[in-house]
Amino acid sequence: CLLQFGKLHLKDDKVEPSTPESNEDKAAQSLLNKLIRSNLVNNTNQVEVLQRDPNSPLYSVKSFEELRLKPDLLKGVYTMGFNRPSKIQETALPMMLAEPPQNLIAQSQSGTGKTAAFVLAMLSRVDPASRFPQCLCLSPTYELALQTGKVIEQMGKFSKELKLAYAVRGNKLERGHKISEQVVIGTPGTVLDWCSKLRFIDPKKIKVFVLDEADVMIATQGHQDQSVRIQKMLPKGCQMLLFSATFEESVWGFAQKVVPEPNIIKLKREEETLDTIKQYYVVCNNKEEKFQALCNIYGSITIAQAMIFCHTRKTASWLAGELSKENHQVALLSGEMMVEQRAAVIDRFREGKEKVLVTTNVCARGIDVEQVSVVINFDLPVDKDGNPDNETYLHRIGRTGRFGKRGLAINMVDGKHSMNILKRIQEHFNKRIEHLDTDDMDEIE
């Protein structure tokens, strides 16, 4: 079933914000990340650890064997194709599996292995022979809960008696029902109902409580209160685990409310850099000239795959149309598309089925551009006040340290204002952006 995200009534010339602003966007972005993610993101940074008891030894593991998991669970892990723990898992797993159980707050960008880590922790603590809920996991939305549920089902595939229940809207159970599934995943509202009003779950028997995507969670009105109310029903010895991709003050405040006496693990995201990027600008007067310049570029250099950024949906779809007429294999990504559609487009592009991806801002967050050799800013990134959006510029064309191949970025400038934006971006990064004459492309090769 396809689930609708984008707002349908938006006009075509809608400017796509460069950063997700509403909770809906945040949740959609997070879902998109999950749908398109096929493996771990690279991260060479050190994990920062703050232990509740600084005197207790800090273990880290380099293999899953060292964790002495139940054989069925270890089999599940290997069947998922995991050979060894990710950076954050190396430290988080021994901490989460330690006896007596310890609480944990962990933060790292999406794709670093948090979900796999807490699923493993839940499944290793569960007693499949006991037919009642023992692990409870909260997700911010229905769709995200389903995604995490899939991971639980995959990893728990070989644990025969293990069952999972989804506490999400639409899942209606008969009054008086008692849940026999050992693991429950759901959204705060439904879980709260199941624990209190409907009494499907006895919260006093929960051993592990996971709060996933805390940053997305608190962006939704009511979720924070519901989560706190659920947490208060849990027994004293219950292990509390909280995960977040980002860590603003508000997330931190919430984390401390729901996770007493925590260990804390943080993994900084890999810095993006422009060092390996050759940056150019092209001067044009309007979008037709920009398109002509683009054709000249295509005519003179070999471009394996390119991503082209436009400011509005209207420009993006116009440009995609023009490029198609020139026989380019074009994919278009834009904000009114459903998350699942976007994920499909990104997948096709990554498989090389299309060579050009035309996109507006919001969609491009989270896409790995490592494989893309050329990035074109058909419009320069500006914030809602019309000032240069340096962060987005870096995110569009920057590569992460050691992993990034060399790249080429071409900025299309139209008019004085746009030239001024370019200059300010150049000053900000203190990296020269060179002039390119697309009628004479010798210099680029």
Q: Measure the CA–CA gap between 241 and 258, rounded to whole angstroms.
A: 9
- Residue number, 84 or 257, with CB nearest to ligand ADP: 84
Q: Compare residues 85 and 188 and give the one whose CB is closer to ligand ADP.
A: 85
Name the segment binding ligand ADP (CB under 6 A); options: 46-54, 110-118, 252-260, 285-293.
Answer: 110-118
CA distances from 80 to 77, 83, 151, 156 (A): 5, 9, 9, 11
39 to 98, contacts with ligand ADP by CB under 6 A?
39-40, 80, 82, 85-86, 89
Can you tell me the distance from the alpha carbon of 429 to that of 202, in angstroms, rounded to the nearest whole number?
Answer: 56
For ligand ADP, the binding residue among 18, 102, 103, 110 (CB under 6 A) is: 110
- Shortest separation between residue 411's beta carbon and ligand ADP, angstroms: 32
Of 168, 136, 140, the C-alpha closest to 152 is 136
| Residue (6 or 113) nearer to ligand ADP, CB | 113
Q: Does 37 bind ligand ADP (CB under 6 A)?
A: yes
> Which residues 368-387 are close enough to bind ligand ADP by CB under 6 A?
none
Sign of CA dihedral 314, 315, 320, 324: positive
The only residue of 18, 112, 141, 220 in contact with ligand ADP, by rule CB under 6 A? 112
Q: Is 232 helix (H, G, I), strand (E, B) or coil?
A: helix
Contact between residue 6 and residue 310 where contact means Cβ atoms under 8 Å apart: no
Contacts (CB under 6 A) with ligand ADP, residues 278-337:
none
**Least distance in angstroms from the C-beta of 2 to ligand ADP:** 21
* 228-255 per-residue burial string, b: 16 or more CB within 10 A, e: under 16: eebbebbeeebbbbbbbbbbeeebeebb
Residue in 27, 116, 123, 316 binding ligand ADP, rule: CB under 6 A: 116
What is the closest distance, in whole angstroms, from the C-beta atom of residue 43 to ligand ADP in the complex?
10
The two structure tokens encoding residue 253: 């405040």
d(CA 164, CA 135): 10
The reply to whether 233 sits near ligand ADP by the rule CB under 6 A is no
Which amino acid is present at 328?
A: H
Shortest Cβ 194–ligand ADP spacing (Å)? 24
How far apart, in whole angstroms, are the C-alpha atoms of residue 299 and residue 268?
41
User: Rounded to 5 degrees, what are φ and ψ at 172?
Assistant: -90, 130
Stretch that binds ligand ADP, among 37-45, 295-303, 351-359, 391-399 (CB under 6 A): 37-45
Q: State in angstroms the smallest separation of the CB of 392 from ligand ADP.
A: 22
| Residues 291, 379: Cα–Cα separation, whole Å | 11
Nearer to ligand ADP, 40 or 233 (CB): 40
Locate 108 and state its tokens. Answer: 């790292």
Give the C-alpha separation, 306 to 290, whole Å.
Answer: 15
Structure tokens at 212: 């996933």
- Give 120 or 206: the residue with its C-beta nearer to ligand ADP: 120
Size of the site for ligand ADP (CB under 6 A): 16
- For ligand ADP, give the closer residue by CB, 114 or 163: 114
Regarding 114 and contact with ligand ADP (CB under 6 A), the answer is yes
CB of 89 to ligand ADP, least distance (A): 6
- Residues between 13 and 32 that touch ligand ADP (CB under 6 A): none
Among 115, 159, 182, 418, binds ligand ADP (CB under 6 A): 115
CA angle 202, 208, 212 (to 5 degrees): 110
The tokens for 91 are 């430290």
Is the CB of 164 or the CB of 433 nearer to ligand ADP?
Answer: 164
Q: Shortest Cβ distance from residue 88 to ligand ADP (Å)? A: 7
- Is residue 100 reached through a cis peptide bond, with omega within 30 degrees of 0 on the bond before it? yes
Q: What φ, ψ does residue 97 adopt, rounded to 5°?
A: -95, -5
Report yes or no: 433 and 377 within 8 Å, Cβ to Cβ: no
> Nearest 5°: phi and psi at 284?
-135, 175
Nearer to ligand ADP, 85 or 398 (CB): 85
* Position 358 contacts ligand ADP (CB under 6 A): no
SS3 of residue 357 by DSSP? strand
CB of residue 48 to ligand ADP, shortest distance in Å: 16
Of 89 and 361, CB closest to ligand ADP: 89
Q: Pick from 20, 76, 111, 203: which binds ligand ADP (CB under 6 A)? A: 111
Which CB atom, from 38 or from 371, has the smaller least distance to ligand ADP?
38
Is residue 361 a contact residue for ligand ADP (CB under 6 A)?
Answer: no
d(CA 40, CA 63): 16
**Comparison of 179 and 210: residue with beta carbon closer to ligand ADP:** 210
Count the alpha carbons within 13 Å of 184 in the hemisphere toward its beta carbon.
28
136/412 with CB nearer ligand ADP: 136
Give the footprint of ligand ADP on this chain (CB under 6 A): 37-40, 80, 82, 85-86, 89, 110-116
